[in-house]
Structure 1
Amino acid sequence: MIFTAGADAQSLDPSLHPTGTYDALVHVDLYDTLVFQTPDGKIEPNLATSWKFKDDTTLVFTLRKGVRYHDGTPFKAEDVKFNFERVINNKAARWAGYIRMIKSVKVLDDQTVEIKLKNPYGPILANLAIPVAAMASPAAVKKHGKDFRRRPVGTGPFIFKKWEPGEYMQFEANPNYWGGRPAIDQLEFRVIPEDTTRVLQLRAGQSHLAMYLPPAQMQEVEKDPKLDLVSAPLFRVVYIGMNNLIKPFDNPLVRRAMNYAIDTQVIVDKLMMKTGKHLRGPFGPATWGYDPEFEKMGYSYDPEKAKRLLREAGFPSGFETDLWHPTGKYTADKIAAEAIQAQLAKVGVKAKLRTGDWGLVAPTIRNGKAPVYFYGWGVMSGDADMAMYFKFHSSMWGAQGNSDRYKNPVVDKLLEQARSTVDAGKRKALYKEAVKVVIQDAPWVFLKQEVMLVGKSKKLHGVILHPSERVYFHKARLDD
């Protein structure tokens, strides 16, 4: 079975997991986590068969018996301690923050492990389903050292065979997989940067699944009787960010004016060709904690109100700024940026477009040098904590998530209370209050929750397209 995407993974070491996108495509088929999160957000047993909270900060896992890594070594409780401490203590692990609330890991016996948290943390189980919390073979990690990123060994349904960087990876079915041997014998991931070529190969039967298709290729897939076009909702959101430390975006009146000045409905539905759900808040229905009331709290297109707010803020004639955007990172990003530029001009805001590839634009944004910019955020855990705390808590400024340098002590307190509350109902209520304040403060121009467009052969069945952008093949099968 062959699947294709436009870019390669960077590392096959889950402790590094630097991108959350192309790495995740292959990590989840090499490795397992203690728990599995279904596409609708339910937490199910995985390498752990059961768990219980002894108290609000102590979680005990019972591990699955008889599991072995691809190198033949047995999976046991000591490995949970090894893997979690390896991530927590690794300064290069960008996503280590998702498990750094773990204070200690205690091995009770070979099949039982106790995890002590620094504080009560409501979404801990969702975080433990993220690839950064996956179990890698300690023996292989110690044997290969830094080279482990290219010589991965996990407990997953597929075994790594070969990687030609920038070209392809090959895997084979794990005959001893604890969940049952996969129906697919050989799995190959091919890197095909050109969208047109990916679709041509799919139509020619040279691949079975083409990931991340642009809207321009939708018709080519839809009209082919041998193919299906799948639109999978994602946790990821796309928005127009504003650096809240750069004038005049330090003024909430200006930020609200920006929200009224941009016709986000038209941007999403027409220019971005409905490749996502239009949003009026910071996260969408796919993410736990969402409330339909968010849509009533947000902004609608009203250029006259935008002008009024700009006058009130002291900018009756508008102002000049730079709008940074990548090309090809987000659906129709260049066309959308040009439309936003024209809409802003109608209220007196003269935006100069600063265009570049993602390698240039992303560091400029994260380092606080871009005043206005296209940006996205993938909520890997599917929980409001990741959607809100990492983007709006003042402790997360910069590359950690809060690239907008937004700060509000009220929001900080609400988010701290929400993540340290175990009761789901109370957590949701706290997030709703935090969202109200964030929408009023308008650190973003809210755009959309993304969907993943995938072209699939009708012969392929059972692939799980997860909202976190993880793709699972352990239940996949191919018709003859």
Structure 2
Amino acid sequence: MRSALAAVLAVAVLAGCSTTTGGDSAERDSIVVSGTYPVDSLDPHSAAGGSAGKEFTGQSIYGRLTRPDAKGKIVADLATKWTPDATATAWTFNLRSGLLFSDGTPLTSDDVVASFQRLLASDSPNKSNFTGAKIEAPDKETVVITAAKPDAALPSKLATFFVLPKTVGPDFFKKPVGSGPYVVKSFSPGESLVLTANDKYWGGKPKIQTVTVRTIPDISARLTALRTGEVDLVWGVPDDQLKTLTADAGLKHESVPSHQVFTMWFNSSVPALATPAVRNALWKAVDFKTIIANLYPETGALAVSPVAPTVFGYSPQQPKTHDPAAAKAELTAAGFDFGKPLRLQFANAEFRAFNQAVVSDLAKIGVKIDLQEKEQAVFIKDLLAMSWDINFQQLGTAGFDASANLGRLYPCAAKRTGYCNEELDKQLAAAGTSTDENARKSAYAAASKIIWDDAVGMYPMTVQIAYVWNKRLDGFTRDASGYPDFSAATLGAK
């Protein structure tokens, strides 16, 4: 993600056509947008559905019980009310009356139950938020989700759960049915997605009739398309391009603090990275402050926590000191093998310069890195298989609660980093099960300190998401997740 996100268009497609042409009427109800990541799948319950492109399109096509607003507060979507029992183990969700899918069929609690069960049976990383959970439907407008243990963050975790019809056949995602503000008109994976307004949407049919999401892998082509009016909105704009774009009188811009942090996990199951001493020494060798100042002066800041300041559970830690001489001495004392390269994997070309800078700093103390840039699908597969030594990702916290990040990814049972610490498990369990907000904050602070001090990963930078758009576009949500919402947007003349 430099944000967290959605999708962009091939240059050949840009040159050949534009949905903004065809007269003033078409221009007033159609937009073309281009984010950071391609949309490869429309299945929100798949492993591919864990990508940023899916989250963006998911909120446009499908509904959720709850959703975060632009600032991260959990608000109503398909459910208007949610109530926990005394221990926050069983949560009752009351659905809106009269909900319809885009094909006109009623959306009931049976669809919610079937979708939740489908998620639990899927290969989606998001299902780990609900391990051991059960769901039932007392009536057509009520569902009860019972967690395996008390879970005060359940409404936040449900921001990653999308509701589909109870019957999903093999061809469903060729023309998916949902309850979001838009309907899929056409989809070419990794290239373009055309959405049209859903007149069955509970929030009212959007004023913008057509939203075309296009994949433009080359950033220069993407920004040229914005300047020429071929594209109306771009987000995740690189810092070195912002000054030029913001000087354009026909464009508007805003940078929004996100819930995302550049995260570089160490694979602690690899013998070379098994000790905190080695992991901390590697962190100490990289001058992240200077790298950020050079590459992300507008949209980056040195991180002091595994999660961003916008997230519940954020607790600032003591910044790491850059000291390459000490780093080399500590690695030598630990018996580190300088002759064997470490595999550093990442996806998306936008992160290439950052990772190259990290490789350069490590090389200065004799640490060899095999830098591996992978296609998104391969990256996710290898991430889950732990086929890496250092893993870079722009990691967000869905729902803006640390449970969806720290609580999901760092327990021993998660097996995501090769790191296991019983005390960390204890603090994360306390943070996840307490109904007392102050107690949860204290537990997350203790957990963050363990993660930080033991260098489970390196946490270089918190992220702001830069949006730049044509002035004729108004009323869309500059989302802190990097998933803009067009359900209330309007257009003026081009």
TM (normalized to structure 2)?
0.86
Amino acid aligned to 2:341: T
Q: AA paired with 1:47?
A: L
Aligned partner of 1:11 in structure 2 is 41
Letter in 2 for 1:121: D
Q: Which position in structure 1 is the counterpart of 2:375?
A: 358
Q: Counterpart of 2:45 in 1: which secondary structure? A: coil
User: Which residue of 2 is the match for residue 341 of structure 1?
Assistant: 359
Is 2:318 aligned against 1:301? no
Match of 2:15 in 1: none
Match of 1:128 among 158, 172, 175: 158
2:442 is matched with which residue: 420, 429, 433? 429
Q: How big is the shift at 1:120?
A: 0.6
Moved more, 406-415 or 230-239: 230-239
1:464 correspondence with 2:480: no
Query: Equivalents in 2 of 1:180, 1:364: separation in Å?
Result: 42
Alignment size in residue pairs:
460
- 1:220 and 2:250 aligned: no
Question: Take 2:339 and 2:152, find their aligned partners in 1: how far apart are those partners?
Answer: 43
CA distance in 2, matches of 1:365, 1:223: 40
Instruction: Name the CA distance, whole Å, in 2 between partners of 1:222 and 1:263.
Output: 29
Match of 2:412 in 1: 394
**Match of residue 66 from structure 2:** 35
For the 8 Å contact 2:35–2:234, the answer to whether it is kept is yes
Query: How much does 1:375 deviate?
Result: 3.1
- 1:156-191, Cα deviation, whole Å (9 max, x unpaired): 111222223344222222223221221212222222
Please name the residue that 2:267 is paired with. Answer: 243
Matched residue SS, 1:129: helix
Indicate the RMSD between aligned Cα atoms, in angstroms.
2.4
Check the 8 A contact 1:160/1:171 in 2, yes or no.
yes
* Partner Cα separation in structure 1 for residue 356 and residue 107 of structure 2: 53
Q: More deviation in 359-368 or 191-200? A: 359-368
State the 1:362 CA deviation: 5.1
Deviation at 1:70, TM superposition (A): 0.7
TM-superposed CA distance for 1:67, in Å, is 1.6
Q: Deviations over 1:63-117 (max 9, x none)?
A: 11122111111122222212212222x2333322223442232x22222222222
Q: Which residue of 2 aligns with 1:411?
A: 424
C-alpha contact (below 8 Å) 1:101/1:117 kept by paired residues: yes
For 1:166 and 1:264, locate their aligned partners in 2 and report how far apart those are by CA, in whole Å.
32
Counterpart position of 1:284: 308
Q: What is the CA-CA distance between 1:385 and the residue it aligns to?
A: 1.3
Q: Following the alignment from structure 2 to structure 1, what is the Cα–Cα distance between the partners of residues 189 and 72?
A: 33
Q: Does 1:382 align with 2:400?
A: yes
Contact 1:30 1:157 in 2 (8 A): yes
User: Could you tell me how far apart the structure 1 residues matched to 2:140 and 2:253 are?
Assistant: 46
The residue number in structure 2 matching 1:186 is: 210
Q: Which residue of 1 aligns with 2:344?
A: 324
Q: CA deviation at 1:423?
A: 1.8
Partner of 1:313: 334
Comparing 21-30 with 424-433, which one deviates more in the overlay?
Answer: 21-30
Match of residue 139, structure 2, among 99, 109, 120: 109
- Assess, with a 3 A threshold, how the Cα gap between structure 1 residues 236 and 6 changes in structure 2: closer, same or farther: closer
Question: 1:5-49, CA deviations, whole angstroms, 9 ceiling, x for partnerless residues?
Answer: 355322223222623311222211111111221132222222112
d(CA) in 2 for partners of 1:74 and 1:364?
40
Structure 1 residue aligned with 2:5: none
- 2:122 corresponds in structure 1 to 91
Q: CA deviation at 1:308?
A: 4.4
Matches within 5 A, 1:115-194: 115-130=145-160, 133-138=161-166, 141-142=167-168, 145-194=169-218
**Paired letter, 1:432:** A
Give the distance between the partners of 1:68 and 1:362, measured in 2 at CA.
Answer: 34
| C-alpha separation in 1, matches of 2:350 and 2:259 | 15
1:382 maps to a residue whose letter is: F
Deviation of 1:255 (Å)? 1.3
Match 2:453 to one of 413, 420, 440:
440
Distance 1:281 1:208 in 2: 35
Query: 1:243, 1:101 → 2: CA distance?
Result: 27
The whole-number CA distance in structure 1 between the counterparts of 2:145 and 2:453 is 38
Pairing of 1:269-280 with structure 2 (within 5 A)? 269-280=293-304
In the other structure, the counterpart of 2:20 is none
Question: Is 2:83–2:92's contact at 8 Å kept on the other side of the alignment?
Answer: yes
Amino acid at match of 2:182: F
Within 2, Cα distance between the matches of 1:376 and 1:86?
Answer: 27
User: Contact 2:359–2:371 at 8 Å: present in 1 too?
Assistant: no
Q: Is the 8 A contact 1:202 1:210 kept in 2?
A: yes
In structure 2, give the amino acid aligned to 1:116.
T
Alpha-carbon shift at residue 467 of structure 1 (Å): 2.6
Q: Is the 8 A contact 2:130 2:147 kept in 1?
A: no
Q: Tell me which amino acid in the other structure corresponds to 1:276.
A: G
Deviation string 1:95-142 (CA, Å, 9 cap, x unpaired) is 22223442232x222222222222111210001122xx222223xx44
Q: Post-superposition shift, 1:319?
A: 5.8
Structure 1 range deviating more: 232-241 or 362-371: 362-371
Return the TM-score normalized by structure 1.
Answer: 0.88
Provide the rounded CA distance (Å) in 1 between the counterparts of 2:143 and 2:391: 44
Checking the alignment, whether the CA contact within 8 Å between 1:6 and 1:194 is kept in structure 2 is no
Cα 1:361/1:189, change in 2 over 3 Å: closer
1:22 aligns with 2:46: no
User: Structure 1 stretches of 5 or more lacking a match?
Assistant: none
Moved more, 31-40 or 317-326: 317-326
Maintained 8 Å contact 1:272/1:336: no
Q: Tell me, in whole angstroms, the C-alpha distance in 1 between the residues paired with 2:329 and 2:104.
A: 69
Moved over 6 A (4+): none
Task: Report the AA paired with residue 476 of structure 2.
Answer: V
